[in-house]
Amino acid sequence: MGESTAARDFLPAAGRAPLGLYDLAVAAGMRERTFRRSLVAQVLEGRQGLDVVDVGCGTGTLAIALAAGGARVTGIDPDPRALARAGAKPGSPAVEWLKGHADAIPLADASVDRVVLSLVLHHLSEADKHVALVEAARVLRSDGVIHVAEWTKPGDPLMALAFRGLQLVDGAATTASMGRGELPGMLAQAGFTAIVERDRLRTTFGRLALVCARCA
């Protein structure tokens, strides 16, 4: 299921489907404009010059939108093919792209104002989810905020069916805890406080929650 790089495995953006379908699937199935616009507004709060790291940035759409909104953005992903797609998009020179993993973010302690994990945690093992959140806390400044866009409890049969479809593509092992709504507890376990669900959207792949939290 995972894809091999020289040193590490990871589940690529489109899971078992070809990477080239990822942007199409997000645009067609995830109310992308609504979801990205809401997330960008929550992250930036109208402020300019924030240092933002988009961990698991994939094909870069969100990182580029954050930079266009006035943030200094670093986009990190283990997949060189996704980074190549990101780097070819209009607006990409405004973002610094780095190859790296969420459980070893290649940034200094207390060096960013915002960490964004958009649709990434459900690609990680349970142990790596925890380490990724601890890493996010490490790189955040004391008044920093983490923003997570993730699948949550479906809440009704239609969303449960949609989430089953997502699990066929990304696998059940890493997605199940998200579908049980365990994200807030994971954030608390990693030391975050003031955990708030800011938005919730119905999509073709299940119910998506936009959650933010502060460093303790």
**Residue 59: CB partners within 8 Å, gap ≥ 6?**
13, 19, 22, 23, 82, 85, 86, 89
- Report the alpha-carbon distance of residue 48 to residue 207 in Å, rounded: 31
Window of 40-48, 50-58, 88-96, 180-188 that interacts with ligand SAM by CB under 6 A: 50-58
**For ligand SAM, what does the binding mask look like between residues 110 and 129, x meaning CB under 6 A?**
--------xxx--xx---x-
- Write down the least CB distance from residue 206 to ligand SAM, Å: 13
List 183's β-bridge partners, or say none: none
Residues in region 165-204 near ligand SAM by CB under 6 A: none
Residue 85 binding ligand SAM, by CB under 6 A:
no
In one-letter notation, the amino acid at residue 214 is: R
- Which position among 40, 44, 64, 77 is part of the footprint of ligand SAM (CB under 6 A)? 77
Interface with ligand SAM, residue 44, by CB under 6 A: no
Give the other-Cβ count within 10 Å of 51's Cβ. 18
Among 85, 101, 114, 207, binds ligand SAM (CB under 6 A): 101
Burial class (CB in 10 A: 0-12, 13-18, 19+), 78: buried
Binding site for ligand SAM (CB under 6 A): 10-13, 26, 55-58, 61-62, 77-79, 82, 101-102, 118-120, 123-124, 128
